[in-house]
Amino acid sequence: MTKTQKILIMVGALFVVLIIAVIILLFVLLGNGKNTTNTGASCTSDGVTYSNGASFKSTDGCNSCSCDNGKVACTEIACISPTGEGTNPIELVTPVTDNTPTVMVYFARPSGPTDYSTLSGVSRTTDKTGSAQVPVILNDILAGPSAAEQADGLSGIFTLTGTSTCSGSFYQYSYAGTALTVKFCKDISFIANNTGGGGSYSGMGMQAEGRVLNALEQSLKVNGTTSVIIRQSDNSCYGLDSGFNTACTD
């Protein structure tokens, strides 16, 4: 092999090596360009910066956002939590039927002439809710048990007599937190047992007043009410000696 041939072979080899090196360099440059090239402007959302084209979660927790050349674009899907509350809540309406029992009213069920402690609850139908149930309950207690309920052994608790001290109203009521105060604007007259043989005896009045208060308390403890205070027409506490109405203070 001549010297010229050797030189040509070496030049050819160097050329091949150079071509391979250029190809490798191009692959490296193109690969890096795919990972780092960002021709659009970045976006800032809620204090966080995102590169152009990046996708991220919206601050409401249910929509998706993306960075589009410096502008944040988000979907606008209504977000509804399990409780029905959210950024765009759906109003849930429950139909109310007049024939759905929603309150319990307590009447006397005396087992004998001296039994002033036994009560029995019966359901009453109403479409009222919240504090609007209070007059429903009071009116039903004042009306007394139905004929069928009387035949089943139930009897009334009390009646109202005399002249109203509240411009004709039978009662007034108000809430202070979860404490309900009811003022009867007429005189409260308890109903004695009518089971025969009992008559009037020492302590009967106190027991009868206690039954009035016990029935009112059990009937009116609805909608989160924790205590029931009963006042008479002169605004004094009713039946304190009975051991009930202890939250009432004159």
124-136 confidence digits (pLDDT tens): 988 888 899 999 9
Q: What is the mean pLDDT of residues 109-118?
A: 92
Task: Answer for the pair 155, 110: CB distance below 8 angstroms, yes or no.
Answer: yes
In this prediction the pTM is 0.59
Q: How far is CA 109 from each of CA 7, 194, 230, 243, rounded to the nearest angstrom? A: 126, 11, 22, 20
- Asked if pLDDT for residue 36 goes beyond 60, the answer is no
pLDDT of residue 60: 67
pLDDT of residue 49: 87
Task: Answer for the pair 245, 230: CB distance below 8 angstroms, yes or no.
Answer: yes
Q: What is the mean pLDDT of residues 61-90?
A: 61
Q: How far is CA 17 from each of CA 6, 13, 28, 133, rounded to the nearest angstrom? A: 17, 6, 17, 95
Give the lowest-confidence range in 55-64, 78-87, 97-106.
Answer: 78-87
pLDDT of residue 236: 96
**Biggest alpha carbon–alpha carbon distance for the chain:** 148
